[in-house]
Amino acid sequence: MFRSPIVRAVLALAIVSGVYFSGVAVRQLLGSCVEIRNTSKQSVRNVSVKVENTGKIYPVPDLAPGGRQRVYVRPNEKSRVTVAMTDARNHQRDFTVFGGAEPGDCALSLVTIQPGQNTESDESHHPVCWRSWLDLM
């Protein structure tokens, strides 16, 4: 049908661009991402992510050692986002993962639960989700 190499190249570029930009749009609609990784040797229970200004709580399944879970939150105004969990010693722990997540923000907070009950959180904010579908993997 399309015998010209230029037409095929333009068509291929249009398809790849369409797939890429649809991924940018989908990722942007999902909101801020909280990725929780359990690198400790014990399971973590009763994990949840909370958007403070709305009180909306996103429950997360228990995380086995080596487990990982992503939660996407969409605050309706600038808000603090926290994670709550119960550790192996049956202690309830709460900590902030976003000091100010905003609507339409493409933020990522990587939360790592480490051995010895330590927790590390690293957050980044971007106005647009240029990583497209890669952010969903």
Token readout for 41 is 């040797």
Encode pLDDT of 35-66 as tens digits. 999 998 888 889 999 999 888 999 999 999 99
pLDDT higher than 90, residue 99:
no
CATH architecture classification, 5-136: Sandwich (2.60)
Please state whether beta strands 108-113 and 32-38 pair in parallel, antiparallel, or not at all (unpaired): parallel
* Greatest Cα-to-Cα distance within the chain, rounded to the nearest angstrom: 67
CA distance 11 to 80: 44
Encode pLDDT of 69-79 as tens digits. 999 998 888 88
pLDDT higher than 80, residue 88:
no
